[in-house]
Chains A and B, each alone.
Chain A
Amino acid sequence: MIPVIQLSNISKTFGGVRALINIDFEVMPGEVHCLAGENGCGKSTLIKIISGVYTPDPGANFTLMGQEHKTLSPAQARRIGVGVIWQDHALFPEMSVAENIAIESFVGLKSKLVRHKNIKDVAQKVCERLGVSFDLDAQVKTLPIAQKQLIAICRVLVSDARIVFMDEPTASLTQSETKHLLDVVRTLTAENVAVVFVSHRLAEVLEIADRVTVLRDGKKVGVYDASEMTLAKLTEKMTGLTINPAVVGQNLTKNETVLEVKQISRTGEYKDISFSIARGEVVGITGLLGAGRTELALSLFGMTRPEQGQIYLDGKAVKFKSNLEAISSGVAYVSEDRLSLGLIQDQSIENNLISTVLDKTIVCGGLLSFKKKKAIVGHWIKELSVKLGSTSDAISTLSGGNQQKVAIAKWLATKPKLLILDAPTVGVDIGAREGIFKIVRDLASKGLSILLISDEVSEVYFNSNRVLHMSNGCIQKEYVPARCNISELEDAIYGKNI
């Protein structure tokens, strides 16, 4: 049997940074192959090269379906049968399901007319082949995310894909939806279509994959049979570290309560949420994407208002009209999307850092004092050991980890009582993550209360005094890491026996 795809000597350099270094990669027909690695290890770059979006550095060799290619364009890749399901699905929300599925059948053909009945037939056929059903006339924007995922899969099958790449396909799915997706994957492999899974949910990866290729820092670590791998071994290959972390042991619930939330609800976002955070305590919230974690955080930060229930800060009932009130009451929120919401990428490091405390740098007449600005910036850069050239450089010149530190520093400068960290390690590499969590633990030991939101179960498990599992807008259960196993928590979130 010849491989569907065989790549050798793939390198990719982005302006001096080597994102991929001499990668070899092959996939057999009908195989489920997993591409595993930490954020930033080069997985997405590799997919973009295989699908023709990026051109690799010279010297690369592609053999697709037994044919050699020197270069590959997106159109060529599609013709050969490479299908990619992007993490954001790349669907067209205003258009109908049928058109979304069949769009590739009428793209690129000049002046050809569209027969809407044909489109529906094409879509219907693919749906039947996969054993899924949709209202083909519905607008895609009206559908839940799990259905969008299936639509994206249907779409690549219209163009007769022989190999399908799925980028984090299960990140926002519930257990039964994931199960359905995996059934679909099995249907595909039974038809000899190869599936390459990119996922960081390792348990599920090992469950379905035949082989695993592990990447780390742009290099290939190796290819392994999934049956020989265990969770621990795979983690070690991916991170290069034998992680033997300890959980946070202390019980701090006896400290005075800083935040208390009683039965708050907001339609369509979260329901009947009650919990408290004590002084110096780190409380983790985890759950699938779309569980309502960020929506809850936004309400605590005064950006939205709960429709029912009550929030208490230091024992006093608060009703924030805006986040300005929340900030002045001592709540700080490091938002989930650092790139577009958290930091102003084109602005300098110092301007980003003081953006929350401009009022503290003002001297007479409402002018900014450069001396005060320098003092504040200098203090926090040192405190969080941010590695930088000059504080007047643009924030975008920093690495992910250091950017996140500036984002945290910007909020610490407001001297908060409660710090909400939403997905603080997205786009931060493994070594730097430890640095961020060290800061979190230091801050907590100095008495700051922290709400840590993350979909990486291990992050909240190893860094929180208590963990809340959230799903469908509700808190399902509280876990104390010192008294439970991480797999208990993982099973609760992802479900057992996928």
Chain B
Amino acid sequence: MEKIFKTHPIEAWLLIIIIATSAVLSMLSVQYFTLVNAFDLLNSISINVIFAVGLLVVLISGGIDISFAVAASVIQYVAFYVLSYLGGGNWFIGIIVAGGLGVILGAINAGLIHYFRIISIVVTIATFNIFFGLLMFLTKGVYLYDLPDWWANRVIIFEHEMANGTWAELTLPAVIMFGAISATWFLITYTSIGRQIYAFGDNPEGARRIGINVVAVQFIAYGWMGMMAGIGGLMQAHFMQEIVPNALIGRELDVLAAVVLGGATLGGGRGTVMGCVLGVLLMAIIQNGLNLLGVTPFAFKAIVGVIILLAITLSNVSFVELRAYLRMKRGQ
């Protein structure tokens, strides 16, 4: 236990807070600690988690991407037309098309960042505006309702009838989420390029000197983000059964907050898939809890803001230092 706190303090803390929050919520609300609610939670966080693991890779590489949520909207529209051109498609083709389009949009970001030497936040704010502006201009803001059946119909992977007659259902987005988590974890832990992304984010100059392929690092990081944006967009349209041009706008900041809560930093070189997932989960549990307790949704944003500030302050001051400091104060 001690060891986990030393090597993965943020993940350990998040886990403790999640368990504590869940314990409190299950005492306050009988609905909380049920399989139905657990599966609902998994289904509802799946899209944010898919976005989050993509963003994690970009943050580890020392960059940031503000444009991914609108990129996902763009991909929804383009994928819709590409798939109908291909005669309707299916899940397999859908994921390939959406993921591929995402990689292309990510590569645009990476290219601008690398070849024009513009910092990532400026590039992605610009592409955010370009993507969104073009989307609204070209689609004139039309909603799309006539999704193909495979896309719009719910896919239940696992279901279980509860004693009271309700159904606990695990749906496709949750399964895709597990796929995204595993793939990202494999990428950043077990591939050479994944470790180079860490190294580059940690010390870019040092990375250049030992001959790390900087171009590859940038394109893979933003390409991965783009791919996850595409797949996440596909899932969001599936979830809502419609495509709305501004449905995802603003999502980038929610996801960014969750990833940062999970221990990634804007400075690069830090962050784990575990922390990232726990970050999204904690946000969702708090929202879920507040809903169950009947707190107004407007309070939610403010509470999330406070949590982020607390988490960042605590992660800058390690627990051990804090304890030593308090002891010293008391000693005086």
Contact = CB atoms under 8 A, between A and B. Distances in A.
Interface of A: 53, 74-75, 78, 84, 86, 88-95, 99, 103-104, 106-114, 116, 137, 267
B206 A91 contact: yes
B209 A92 contact: no
Contacts, number: 77
B192 interface: yes
B195 A106 contact: yes
A474 B269 CA distance: 35
Contacts of A112: 191-192
Nearest to B212: A107
Bin the interface of chain B by size.
20 to 34
Contacts of B269: 92-95
B210 A90 contact: yes
A106 B191 CA distance: 9
A93 B202 contact: yes
A94 B197 CA distance: 12
B77 interface: no
Contact of A53 (B198, B209, B213): B209
Given A93-B203, A95-B199, A95-B202, A114 B194 contact: yes
A92 B203 contact: yes
A99 B194 CA distance: 13
Given A111-B193, A114-B190, A114-B195, A90 B213 contact: no
Interface in B264-311: 269-270
Contacts of A113: 190-192
Contacts of A267: 328
B261 to A, nearest CB: 18
Given A95-B198, A110-B216, A90 B209 contact: yes
B193 A90 contact: no
Interface string B176-212: 0000000000000111111110110011011101111
Nearest to A53: B209
A109 B212 CA distance: 10
Nearest to B268: A94
B134 to A, nearest CB: 34
B62 to A, nearest CB: 11
- Of A78, A103, A111, most B-chain CB atoms within 10 Å: A103
Contact of B199 (A78, A86, A103, A111): A103
A84 B208 CA distance: 13
6 contacts: A74-B209, A86-B209, A95-B202, A107-B210, A112-B191, A114-B191
Nearest to B216: A110
5 closest Cβ pairs, A-B complex: A90-B206, A94-B269, A92-B202, A106-B192, A112-B192
A114 B192 CA distance: 5
Contacts of B213: 107-108, 110
Contacts of A74: 209, 211
A36 to B, nearest CB: 24
A110 B328 CA distance: 52
Contacts of B192: 106-107, 109-114
Contact of A75 (B190, B206, B207, B211): B211
A116 B198 CA distance: 15
Contacts of A88: 206
- Of B205, B207, B210, most A-chain CB atoms within 10 Å: B210
B195 A99 contact: yes
A116 B210 CA distance: 19
A319 to B, nearest CB: 16
A262 B5 CA distance: 40
B211 A90 contact: no
B199 A92 contact: yes
A250 B258 CA distance: 65
A364 to B, nearest CB: 40
B296 to A, nearest CB: 40
B270 A94 contact: yes
A111 B216 CA distance: 11
Given A110-B216, A113-B190, 14 more contacts: A86-B209, A90-B203, A90-B206, A92-B202, A92-B206, A92-B207, A99-B195, A107-B196, A107-B212, A108-B211, A110-B192, A110-B193, A111-B192, A114-B191
A94 B211 contact: no
A104 B212 CA distance: 9
Contacts of B194: 114
Contacts of A92: 198-199, 202-203, 206-207, 269
A92 B190 CA distance: 18
Contacts of A89: 206
A110 B213 CA distance: 9
A94 to B, nearest CB: 4
Nearest to A90: B206
Contacts of B198: 92, 94-95
B145 to A, nearest CB: 42
Contacts of A93: 202-203, 269
Nearest to A104: B210
Contacts of B190: 113-114, 116
B203 A78 contact: no
Contact of A78 (B189, B195, B211): B211
